[in-house]
Amino acid sequence: MTFHKNDIEHTVCPMCECEKYKKAYDFTPFAVVRCDACGIFYLNPRPAENAALKLYEDDNYYKGKERGYSNYFLQESALKATFRKLLQNLKKRGIYGGSLLEVGCGYGYLLEEAKDFFDYRAGTDFSDNAVLHAGKKADLVVKGGVEALPPERKFDCIISMHVIEHVYTPKEFLEQLMPYINPGGRLVIGTPDMGSFWRIIMGRRWSSFKVPEHVIFFDKKSLADLMHTIGLQNIAIIPYPHAFPVSLVAEKFGISFPSFLDRFYVWIPATTIAMYGTLSQ
C-alpha cells in the first residue's frame, strides 16, 4: 500500500504533546522517533488517522496480501497456542470466570480459546470480516470499539492484545475502557516490548516495527506508568511467550520450508509485554 502525501501527517508526542524529538529509525517516508521529554518512541511522520482506519476495515489487512497480519490464517494454530498460554497464566493469578471482553478480537482465536476460562465472552473489532468470523466463536461480537457496546454493559476482565500500538491516542483509548470494567475487575494489555533484547539486537529489522501500522512503542515502564495514570491498581506483568509458525521464523532467516510444516510452531520469549491492572472496588 502506498500513501499519498496528503495521507501522511506530522504529530506531537502522543503521550506528553512535546514537539521535540530525535529520529531513531528511518522508514522513509515514515520514521520512529524518540520524545525528548518523556522518552517514548512513536511514529512521526505517520499515516493520517483516516488513512489508517481505512487500512483496518479492508479485508486484505487480515488476508495479508499487503500489510497487516502476514498470513493470519497460517498463524492460526500458533496464535491459539499463544492465547491459551496467556489464559492459563491469567488463571494462575486468579483471573478467570465471569465475563470477558476482548477489544480488537480479530478472527476470535482468543475468544474461542477462552471458552474454558470465562462464562461469557464478547469482542469488538473494526473489520467486518473479523466480526463475521469471531461472531461464531463468542457470545457477542460488535463492529467498532467499546463505544459500540451498550453503555451499561460491564465485564470482569477486558483483554486487548496487540491493539494499543496501533492507537493514535493511547491514554484516551484506555480511559474509554474503564467504565466497562466491573469494580475489582481487570484490564489486560499486551503490546510489543520496545525494551526487549530482540529490538536491541535487530534494530530497524525488529519485526514489531510494523510501519506504518504501529504508531507507538511501549516498554514495561511506559506501559505501567500509563495504566497507573488512568487509575488502575496493583499493576503486574504476566509472562507472554509467543508462538510463531516454524515457516515464518525460517522465512526471516531466508530458509524455505515445506508447507506441511506450517502447523508446527516455536515459542519465542520476550517479544511482547503483557500487563494487567485492577479497578478498585
Chain contacts with Zn ion (rule: CB under 5 A): 13, 15-16, 18, 35, 37-38
Least Å distance, CB 173 to Zn ion, is: 16
Least Å distance, CB 117 to Zn ion, is: 37
The nearer residue to Zn ion, 80 or 171, going by C-beta atoms, is 171
Least Å distance, CB 125 to Zn ion, is: 29
Least Å distance, CB 40 to Zn ion, is: 5
The nearer residue to Zn ion, 19 or 119, going by C-beta atoms, is 19
List the Cα angle 15/36/202 in 5-degree steps. 85
The nearer residue to Zn ion, 16 or 236, going by C-beta atoms, is 16
Least Å distance, CB 216 to Zn ion, is: 10
What is the rounded CA–CA span in Å between residue 141 and residue 149? 9
The nearer residue to Zn ion, 13 or 243, going by C-beta atoms, is 13
In sequence order, which residues have a C-beta less than 8 Å from that of residue 105 and are 6 or more positions away? 111, 123, 124, 125, 130, 134, 138, 141
- Set of cell numbers at residue 231: 487509575
Stated length of the chain = 281
The nearer residue to Zn ion, 139 or 225, going by C-beta atoms, is 225
Q: Which residue, among 180, 175, 138, 141, has the nearest Cα to 158 in the 3D structure?
A: 180
Q: What are phi and psi of 6, to 5 degrees?
A: -70, -15
